[in-house]
Structure 1
Amino acid sequence: MLKDRLYYENPYCQKFSTHVVNVSQDTKGSPYVVLDNTAFYPTGGGQPHDTGTLNGFRVLSVEEVDGEIRHFVAGNLDSPNEVEGVIDWVRRFDHMQQHAGQHILTAAFVELFDFQTVSFHLGNEIVSIDLDVEAVSEQQLDEVEQLANKIILENRPIETKWVTEDELDHDSLRKQLAVTDEIRLVIIPDYDYNGCGGTHPDSTGQVSTIKILSTEKQKRKTRVHFVCGGRVLQQLHKKNRELATTSKLLSAPEDGVAASVEKLLETNRVLEKSLEEVNDELLAFEVKDLLSQQNNYVVKAVFANRPVQSLQKLARLLVAEDDEIIVLFVAENEDQLQFVAARGASVETSMKQISSATLPLINGKGGGSDAFVQGGGERAVTANELLQVMVEYTC
Structure 2
Amino acid sequence: MTEKLFYKDVYQTEFTTKLVKADQDEGGRPFVVLEETAFYPTGGGQPHDKGSLNNVRVIDVEEVEGEIRHYVTLPIEEASPVNGVVDWSRRFDHMQQHTGQHILSAIMQDEFDMATVSFHLGKDTVSIDLDVESLSEETLHKVEQRVNEVIRENRFVETRWMTVDEANQYPLRKSLSVDEAVRLVIIPDIDYNGCGGTHPRSTGEVQMVKVLGWTRQKRNVRLEFVCGNRVLEQLEKKHSVLSGIKTQMKRPEEELEHEVSSLIKENKAKDKQLAEQTAQLLDYEARDLAASPQETGEVSIIKRVFENRTIKMLQDLGKKIVEQAPNGIVVLVSEQEEQLQFVLAQGSDIPGNMKEAAQQAMPLIEAKGGGKPGFVQGGGTKALKAEEFANRLKEAALETIK
Find out whether 1:360 has 2:386 as its counterpart.
Answer: no
Aligned residue number for residue 346 of structure 2: 342
- C-alpha separation between the residues in 1 aligned to 2:111 and 2:142? 8
1:95-148, CA deviations, whole angstroms, 9 ceiling, x for partnerless residues?
Answer: 111111110011011112222212222122211112223322222222221111
The residue identity in structure 1 corresponding to 2:344 is: V
5 Å matches for 1:128-167?
128-167=127-166
Letter in 1 for 2:377: G
Cα distance in 1 for partners of 2:310, 2:54 equals 63
Q: TM-score, normalised by structure 1?
A: 0.87
Note the alpha carbon deviations across 1:38-70, whole angstroms, 9 max, x for none. Answer: 222122111122222333333332222222222
The alignment's C-alpha RMSD in Å is 2.7
Query: Cα–Cα, structure 1 residues 385 and 171, in superposed 2: closer, same or farther, change >3 Å?
Result: same
CA distance 1:288–1:100, change in 2 (3 Å) = closer
Aligned to 1:314: 317
Contact 1:155 1:205 in 2 (8 A): yes
Q: CA deviation at 1:337?
A: 5.1
Tell me the amino acid that sits aligned with residue 301 of structure 1. K
The letter for the 2-side match of 1:25 is Q
Distance 1:95 1:301, change over 3 A: same
Question: In the alignment, residue 300 of structure 2 is paired with which amino acid?
Answer: V
| Residues 178-214 of structure 1 deviation map (CA, whole Å, 9 limit, x = unaligned) | 2221111111111111111111111111100001112
Rounded Cα–Cα distance in structure 2 between residues aligned with 1:90 and 1:333: 53
Q: Secondary structure at the match of 1:172?
A: coil
The equivalent residue for 1:302 is 304
Partner Cα separation in structure 1 for residue 361 and residue 203 of structure 2? 72
- Matched residues in 2 for 1:299 and 1:32: separation? 68
Runs of 4+ off more than 6 Å: none
> Equivalent residue for 1:289?
288
Equivalent residues of 2:56, 2:74 under 8 A apart: yes
Cα pair distance change 1:351/1:136, threshold 3 Å: farther
Q: Deviations over 1:286-316 (max 9, x none)?
A: 2442344253473613131333433443344
Residue 290 of structure 2 contacts residue 302 of structure 2 at CA under 8 Å; is this kept in 1?
A: no
Alignment of 1:257-276 (within 5 A): 257-276=256-275
Compared CA separation, residues 273 and 33, structure 1 to 2 (3 A): closer
Q: Does the CA contact (< 8 Å) of 1:99 and 1:198 recur in 2? A: yes
- Mapped partners of 1:31, 1:385: distance in 2: 56
Work out the percentage of aligned pairs sharing the same amino acid: 43
Whether the aligned pair in 2 keeps the contact of 1:157 and 1:202 (CA below 8 Å) is yes
Structure 1 partner of 2:53: 54
Instruction: Report the TM-score when normalising by structure 2.
Output: 0.86
Q: Matched residue pairs, number?
A: 387
Partner of 1:330: 332
Shift in CA distance, 159/341, structure 1 to aligned 2, threshold 3 Å:
same
Residues 367 and 375 in structure 1, CA contact (< 8 A), matched pair in contact too: yes
